[in-house]
Amino acid sequence: MKILITWWAGFVGSHLCKRLLDEGNEVICLDNLFTCNKSNITPLLHHPNFTFVLHDITQPFRMQVDQIYNLACPASPVHYQKNPVETMKTSVLGAMNMLELALKTKARVLQSSTSEVYGDPSIHPQPETYWGNVNIAGSRSCYDEGKRAAETLFYDYHKAYGVDIRVIRIFNTYGPHMHPSDGRVISNFIMQALKNEDITIYGTGEQTRSFQYVDDLIEGMVRMMNNVDWFIWPVNIWTPFEFTMKELVEVILALIPESKSQIVYQPLPEDDPKQRKADNQLAKEKLGREPRVELKEGLMKTIEYFRKFI
Ligand code: UDP
């Protein structure tokens, strides 16, 4: 099969790319290398079934393909808030360009949406039917509202033109190939602990996230693309584990016992969600699988990966 991935040089894209190549597919990757981790790119460049195209998906793209995974958009708050207008354009124009491509080529297109569409949720855990609680004018809005608008485009292209769509809402994901200065909590805490720097907890550290290891996400993504027939509504992907940031620090420090880091508390960023956990019922029913990698196991592999940057 000929498969297009947008934003492949990012963390999730590089794992997805490897999985699809290992399965014998021909993979074409589009990236403008905005949040690129160069070490993610190099190993695949000489693969015979791999093509890299330097392209910004806010511009139209034409190629005959069978499937499209649209991952495009930086996902770390630090990165996506640097250029909010570009973030919104990548989400919305990028989605439209990929939907146009799907319409013309009759490809199936999967949108990687996000738990951020729920904003600072008033329902816990969050089912896909929850409409969310998102600030329209805050520092996270460019990402949250961009992803929400992209989802709407997906449903409307399906309803108006019959485009074959799949939508997943990805919860906090971590693992090897994250950029060490990505700015998200797991990479920050691990790098700080490895470098004996202060560990920065924002706010009280009582806010929660449910973290999934990248292999579980990729499995869910590929199943959603291939095993789920004509289900156009979003599916949370996905993890039953929920931790406060204080608990996360404890687990990380226990795995890096040589660390001399101290914990420091810094102000909570604007609109930082207080709690987040997926309602997994729909994912269980549609994907027939539960996440397998527990936090400690996933963190051990991630810490090993980050050690080479010290
Ligand atoms: N966070 C933190 N220290 C850091 C980075 C993040 O306490 O050095 C907190 C952040 O305020 C949020 C949680 O960790 O409550 C997850 O942040 P991340 O940026 O990883 O993802 P998101 O907020 O988009 O879920």
Domain range list for the chain: 2-174+212-240+276-292
DSSP state of 76: S
Quote the CA–CA distance of 275 and 122 in Å, as a whole number: 9
Q: Which of 158, 147, 29 is nearest to 90 (CA)?
A: 147
Q: Which tens digits make up the pLDDT trace of 194-247?
A: 999 999 999 999 999 999 999 999 999 999 999 888 788 999 998 888 999 999
Q: How far is the CA of 119 from the centre of ligand 1 (A)?
A: 14
Say if CB 226 and CB 257 are below 8 A apart: no
Q: Which of 130, 101, 98, 105 is nearest to 116 (CA)?
A: 130
Residues 6+ apart with CB under 8 A from 49: 21, 24, 25, 26, 27
Return the structure tokens found at 174.
């971590």
List the catalytic residues.
143
Type of residue numbered 45? L
State the sign of the Cα–Cα–Cα–Cα dihedral 75, 77, 177, 169. Answer: negative
Model pLDDT, residue 294: 94
Atom 1 of ligand 1, nearest CA residue: 185
**Helix (H) and strand (E) counts for the chain?**
10, 13
CATH architecture, domain defined by 2-174+212-240+276-292: 3-Layer(aba) Sandwich (3.40)
Ligand 1 within 6 A of CB of 207: yes
Atom 12 of ligand 1, nearest CA residue: 272
Model pLDDT, residue 45: 83
Atom 3 of ligand 1, nearest CA residue: 201
Ligand 1 within 6 A of CB of 208: no
Quote the CA–CA distance of 45 and 11 in Å, as a whole number: 16
Q: How far is the CA of 122 from the centre of ligand 1 (A)?
A: 19
Mutual angle of helices 84-105 and 141-161, in 10-degree steps: 20
Q: Which tens digits make up the pLDDT trace of 264-278?
A: 999 999 999 999 999
Nearest ligand 1 atom to the CA of 192 is 8
Nearest ligand 1 atom to the CA of 207 is 15
Ligand 1 within 6 A of CB of 77: yes
Q: How far is the CA of 179 from the centre of ligand 1 (A)?
A: 15
Mutual angle of helices 185-194 and 245-255, in 10-degree steps: 40
Ligand 1 within 6 A of CB of 188: yes
Ligand 1 within 6 A of CB of 233: no
Atom 5 of ligand 1, nearest CA residue: 185
Q: How far is the CA of 287 from the centre of ligand 1 (A)?
A: 28
Q: How far is the CA of 184 from the centre of ligand 1 (A)?
A: 6
Give SS3 for 142. helix
Return the structure tokens found at 123.
């329902």
Quote the CA–CA distance of 261 and 195 in Å, as a whole number: 8
Ligand 1 within 6 A of CB of 140: no
Say if CB 211 and CB 193 are below 8 A apart: no
Give SS3 for 94. helix
Note if the pTM is more than 0.95: yes
Q: Which of 203, 215, 166 is nearest to 15 (CA)?
A: 215
3-state secondary structure 193-257: HHCCCCEEEECCCCCEECCEEHHHHHHHHHHHHHHCCCCCCCEEECCCCCEEHHHHHHHHHHHCC
Say if CB 188 and CB 248 are below 8 A apart: no
Give Cα separations from 156 to 70, 77, 104, 226 (angstroms). Answer: 16, 28, 16, 21
Which segments in the chain show pLDDT lower than 70? 35-38
Q: How far is the CA of 292 from the centre of ligand 1 (A)?
A: 23
